[in-house]
Structure formats: C-alpha cells, structure tokens
Amino acid sequence: MKNEFKYIIHNNGDTSRKDPSKAKEMFPMERAWDARRFHRQIPNYHMTPLAALPNLSQLLGVGGIYVKDESLRLHMSSFKVMGGSYAVYRLVKQLLGKEDEDLSYEYLLSKECHDALGDVVFCSATDGNHGRGLAWACQKLNHPCKIYVHSETSQPRIDAIKRFGAEVTVVQGNYDDAVRQAAADAEKNGWYVVSDTSWEGYEEIPTWIMQGYTSILLEAQEQFSGMGIVKPTHVIVQAGVGALAAAVVGFYSALFPNDPPLFIVAEPDQAACIYESIAAGDGKCHTVEGDLATIMAGLACGEPSPIAFDILKNNADIFIQAPDNVAARGMRILGCPLHGDPIVISGESGALPLGTLFALCTDEIDEELKNVLKLDENSQIFMINTEGNTDPIEFRRILWDGKNPVPTRFQIQE
C-alpha cells in the first residue's frame, strides 16, 4: 500500500549542488575533540552503545542498521545534556575571559571560579529534554537555572526538570511562545539564555550546543571503526528546530566532504518546519503555525533554527514528514525487537528514524524516492535514539495500550 509520507528530494538528487563549506567552518574536528575532552571529565560519563540490529536488517533487506542509544546518556535518558553542558562550559570560559584555555571540571566547581563569575543565572525554553539537560548541568556546576515550557508540556517532563533544581515557568501557547518569553525575561533580568534554537543576533550559543552534540558522533565513528565500517552510507535523523539534524549532517559533511552519507531528515507531519522551509524554495526559514499537536514532543517546533537550517539546506538529501503512527511503531519495534536483536528503550522522538526506515522498506513508495534512497544489502544505516522513556504515562499508552496504531492498510501482511 502506498504510504502517506510527504517527501522532498532536495536539489533533485544532484549531490554536486551540495555545499559543505559552512559545515566545515561550524564543525571542524578540533571543535569536536574539544567537546569530547570536556564531556569525558563529567563524573559517570561513558560511551553509549551503538546497537546493531542484524536481524531487522536482514528482514528489511539492508546491510546493517545501527542505533546510537542516547537513552543511556549520563542517566538522563536524552542526548540533550551533551549540548547544554558544553554550551555552559563555553559560556563560562567566555565570561571569565579564558576562551583559549582548557578549564577542568574541578575548576568549574571551585570557589575561585564562582567568585570570578559572580551571580549568573542560566535559562532556556524547552519541550522537555533540553531543559532537563540544562537544569542538570547547572545543578552540577552550582548555578541557578530558569526553564520555560509551553502549556502542552506533560507533567512528568516538568517534574523531571524540577528534580534538578530548576525553576519552571509554564507559558501559554506552543514551544515558540516559550522561546520568546524566556528571551524577554532574560533580557529584563540579566540572565544568560542557553537555547538550542537561534535567531537574529543570537547564534553563538546555539552553535556551541550543536558542537557539543558532536561528541556523540565521535563515539559513533570509533564504534563503526571497531566494526570495520568507515562510515555509514545512510543517515536518518529527526528534526525539531534542526539543531541535532544540523550537527549530524554538518559533522559528516565536514568529515567526508567528497563522499558523505545520504542524509534523510524526518519530522512530525504536524510540526514540519524544516520540511516546509525547504518546500518554499527560497532558502529562508518559514514558520508552521498552530498547536503543533504531535506525540513527538521533542520535535514539536514551529520555527527552524536559522543556523541549523543553513547547514541542512546545503547538505541534506531527502526531507520527510511522517504521521505519529510511524514513530509509535518505531518505539514498538525497538522495545520488542526480533529475537537476537537488542532491546532499545525509545521515546516518541527517538524512534522516528527507525519507524521511518521501516516504512520506507515495507510500504510502497514512489520510484523516484526509491531510486534516490538506494536501500539495498550494501546499505549501512545510522540513526540516533535521542531519548528513552522520558514520559512514562505516554510511553505505556503507546507500547501497552497500542496508542497511535499503524493503519490497517500499512500493517505487516503475511
């Protein structure tokens, strides 16, 4: 049965029109190594698994499927802590006038450091995971933190932020309204915004956050090396404002400028701001209005981050918007895998890439899309499970109660 995906093959599949120059500028390897040096100092830091799913790969007729499992990152159930913590580190260095120095984690905790900084407050808007990661980083480094969430944010996600000592403000409206309120209050009170989305005049800190995510990709490349794989042939990455997607696409475009993987960017169909911006065809960011109603709370963003969009429009190959049932099926496949494949606990946003891949391989798709994808027994497909069970009630509704079922016409046939 023909699937319900909307897709765009960017630049008509002409890879010669890619431009990795900004990716090289934003994601040089020395910056990734700097982020990695900082992260390795954090107590209880360890490399997260790159889960191979050989039996699912065989079922789908591809060479390999590899899921970087960030549900196990620093007991935070999300990758977001990597960006927020690194941005706080870079901001502290800037405030101290020590941008060219490597500051130890111990120094960041010291009385000397705190006396030199004075009273600083960090704040941000969030759909849940970024705010929790920033709250965690601020608690570890003994700094106050103010987090803004929108009115549809679930109580378990709010409670998880509060557990790390942050003050949480609920803003009526959607995620983008929370972003605007956080920025306004920060300007009024002299706080420092640590946001993963950028806007005019606010680009440095979102860049640091994206660079912080590259620690994850350095780990993955080391793990691929251990398997004898130079690089993935395909990357499927989810997008909200586009920060993670741009970090992944930018990292690999900078590392392999002459032969990058095929990049597929997936979004919820109710919050596909990157897709709609690409569809406009003018190279500019465009806003998706409304309540952005999707189970993928971490991707429910109506406005792209301009610096992230700049990377994606110049380097990504395919843009897809998918209904919620695609992510829900991804959660169930990862949580109840084929015999012999590892269990991966994934939240709604984390499972979108796997759900997307499954649909691309099992549903009827346009020949045009099939010809560009080139999914076959030689394909080595990489994706990131960006979150674990961050909303236990919603998680049980999907896995136990079958919420957001796959429509009958797309279900597995005998």
- 148: enclosing H helix or E strand: strand 145-150
Reported as a single tens digit per residue, the pLDDT across 360-387 is: 999 889 999 999 999 999 999 999 999 9
Reported as a single tens digit per residue, the pLDDT across 324-341 is: 999 999 999 999 999 999
CATH class of 6-79+205-410: alpha beta
Q: Which residues, 6 or more positions from 21, have their beta carbon under 8 angstroms from its beta carbon?
A: none
Reported confidence tier of residue 206, pLDDT bands at 50, 70, 90 = very high
State residue 275's pLDDT score. 98
Any catalytic annotation for residue 2? no
Q: Look at residue 1 and tell me whether its pLDDT is greater than 70.
A: no
Given the residues 127, 196, 317, 391, the one annotated as active site: 127
Centre a 10 Å sphere on the Cβ of residue 86 and count the other Cβ atoms it contains.
25
Q: What is the spatial distance between Cα 134 and Cα 124, in angstroms, rounded to a whole number?
A: 8
Reported confidence tier of residue 50, pLDDT bands at 50, 70, 90 = very high
State residue 17's pLDDT score. 86
Given the residues 80, 140, 146, 313, the one annotated as active site: 80
Mean pLDDT of the chain: 94
Q: Look at residue 60 and tell me whether its pLDDT is greater than 70.
A: yes
Domain 80-203 has CATH 3.40.50.1100: yes
Reported as a single tens digit per residue, the pLDDT across 295-322 is: 999 999 999 999 999 999 999 999 999 9
State residue 96's pLDDT score. 96
Q: Look at residue 2 and tell me whether its pLDDT is greater than 70.
A: no
Average pLDDT of span 340-367: 96
Name the nearest CA neighbour of 240 among 352, 382, 76, 398.
Answer: 352
CA distances from 379 to 98, 192, 260, 309 (A): 45, 44, 13, 26
State residue 154's pLDDT score. 87
* Contact predicate 51/67, CB 8 Å: yes
Reported as a single tens digit per residue, the pLDDT across 7-38 is: 999 987 788 889 999 999 999 999 999 999 99
| Ranges of each domain in the chain | 6-79+205-410, 80-203
Give the DSSP letter string of 159-226: HHHHTTT-EEEEESS-HHHHHHHHHHHHHHHT-EE--SS-BTTB-HHHHHHHHHHHHHHHHHHHHHHH
DSSP H helix total and E strand total for the chain: 17, 11
Reported as a single tens digit per residue, the pLDDT across 149-172 is: 998 888 988 999 999 999 999 999
What percentage of the chain has pLDDT greater than the value 70?
Answer: 99
Any catalytic annotation for residue 188? no
Name the nearest CA neighbour of 70 among 212, 233, 190.
Answer: 212
State residue 414's pLDDT score. 62
